[in-house]
Amino acid sequence: MKIVVDAMGGDYAPKAIVEGVIDAINEFSVNIVLVGDQEAIEKELANYKYPKDKIEIVHTDEAIGMNEPATTSIRKKKNSSISVGIKLLKEPGYNAFVSAGNTGAVVAASTIFLGMMDGVERPAIGLVIPTLKKFAFLIDVGANTEPKSQHLVQSAQMARVYAREVLGVQDPKVGLVNIGSEETKGTGFEKETYKMMEEKVTNFVGNVEANEVFSGKSDCIVCNGFVGNIIIKTSEGLMESAATLLRREIKKSPIALLGALLMKSRLNHIKKHADYSEYGGAPLLGVNGVVMISHGRSSPKAIKNAIKATISEVEHNIIESMVKEISG
């Protein structure tokens, strides 16, 4: 299996990317194609011992910045690591693409160069999130901020396949994010989507309020990309604020500091469970190829785990399975 990795994407590229790739080839049975500035990549690779035949480099002299406008940058920078990397998937022997770069640009390039899979009209980004039970799959966290109801139905169907094949959940339950549990709740959009999901989505369990997202009540949690972004960012911000507050309070009391030290191993256990980088990146679903988006702040571990999740997607032929689920 050969996975194409964007060496120039993310806040710590190419250093963190190359380190993650080295860890991946040491742990998993996979070949990597690093796309980006050859000199910069080789300089990083020189720090490691590794089987040379497992990594190849495809040189590009352009990279898209984290804050460049997505579609314009794809149109203007024909030779960017994102565009070149994604186009490789059209050639035989390249199985998937991983990038921690500009999310909008990855979505745009994937849509333009790979096209949509049969039966899906719009791309959606999923995210594996920790819950009180185990994991849930939240979709969409930002690709499509103004979807139509049928786009959410298609996302739900793709999410079921992802949860089943990659997360190993049998007959995954699907919930729709809404502001109340009754089917009459929400705006016209949620009401219409609810009806359509009842008809077309297997094991649809109804509305899920935002306070139930982390409860494990539902395996696949479907919402528009705006709401998904709000859920993820609210969670991130709240956890960061709570940690800051905790550190601030502990500093005020030596006894509390001792208490924190005694709790450390259990707290680390929770931290590990809550850490997104443990589960790899966020799969871009709906396009005609396996594309994984990693957080811009991805550490080498996050990159390694994104590659691990991508391997699992390829092994389970998820695109084929998704097309099958959607065509009924």
User: Which residues contact its own copies (rule: CB under 8 A)?
Assistant: 67, 69, 131-132, 142, 145-146, 177, 179, 182, 184, 186-188, 209-215, 225-227, 229-242, 244-246, 249-250, 252-253, 255-256, 258-267, 269-270, 273-274
**What phi and psi values does residue 170 have, to the nearest 5 degrees?**
-80, 130
Closest to its own copies by CB, 78 or 233: 233
Least distance between its own copies and beta carbon 203 (Å): 22
CB of 129 to its own copies, least distance (A): 10
Closer to its own copies by CB, 47 or 145: give it. 145
Q: Which pair of structure tokens corresponds to residue 316?
A: 């389970």
Please tell me what DSSP assigns to residue 287: B
CA distance 282 to 98: 10
Q: Which is nearer to its own copies, 93 or 239 (CB)?
A: 239
Measured from the CB of residue 232, what is the shortest distance to its own copies in angstroms?
8
Could you give the CA distance from residue 296 to residue 229 in angstroms, rounded to a whole number? 15
Dihedral angle over CA of 110, 112, 117, 123, nearest 10: 60
**H or E, element range at 104:** helix 103-114
DSSP per residue, 140-172: -SSS-SS--HHHHHHHHHHHHHHHHHTS--SS-
Buried b (16+ CB within 10 A) or exposed e, 124-151: bbbbbbbbeeebbbbbbbbbbeebbbeb
Shortest separation between residue 3's beta carbon and its own copies, angstroms:
29
Residues paired with residue 292 on neighbouring β-strands, in sequence order: 98, 283
* 8, amino acid identity: M
Q: How far is the CB of 255 from its own copies (least distance, A)?
A: 5
Q: Which is nearer to its own copies, 67 or 170 (CB)?
A: 67
Contact in structure between 96 and 290 (CB atoms under 8 Å): yes
Which residue bears the tokens 């339950």?
173
- Quick one: 115 or 263, whose CB is closer to its own copies? 263
Task: State which residue, 52 or 266, has the beta carbon closest to its own copies.
Answer: 266
Which residue from 145, 87, 144, 132 is spatially nearest to 270, judged by alpha carbons? 132
Name the residue nearer to its own copies (CB basis): 79 or 179.
179
Q: Which is nearer to its own copies, 207 or 310 (CB)?
A: 207
Min dist CB 303 to its own copies, Å, is 22
Question: Min. distance of Cβ 37 from its own copies in angstroms?
Answer: 27
Shortest distance in whole angstroms from residue 122 CB to its own copies? 14
Please, what sign has the CA dihedral across residues 280, 207, 123, 121? positive
